[in-house]
Amino acid sequence: SPPEKAMVCFGNMFIELPKAKTREMLRQDQEELDEEINNLRKELRVKVNRLYEAQGKPELKGFNLNPMSAEEMKLINRILEG
């Protein structure tokens, strides 16, 4: 049977933790990173629009598009496959 613990690297040391705890920590970290990435994308759009406005250029077209979710991509692939 597979071991019930996983080795996790924190900085320059490895710690053995239960797999369930490790999985939960990774899930939480990924959620926080996804949220931070989305916030940075929103801020970037505003800043780029302000920069273009200050330069007297027209607003970028298509810059406010949002990426497709994993579920939307699955549906598109399903349609394309037939």
Instruction: Sketch the domain layout of the chain as residue ranges.
Output: 3-79
What is the reported pLDDT for 65? 79
What is the reported pLDDT for 45? 84
Residue range 25-75, pLDDT digits in tens: 999 999 999 999 989 988 988 898 899 999 999 887 777 777 888 999 999
* Letter string b/e over residues 41-50, b meaning 16 or more CB atoms within 10 A of that residue's CB: eeeeeeeeee
**Counting Cβ atoms within 10 Å, is residue 6 exposed (0-12), middle (13-18) or buried (19+)?**
middle
For 42, phi then psi, to 5°, come to: -65, -45
Which parts of the chain fold into alpha helices (H)? 19-54, 70-81
* The length of the chain, given as a count of residues: 82
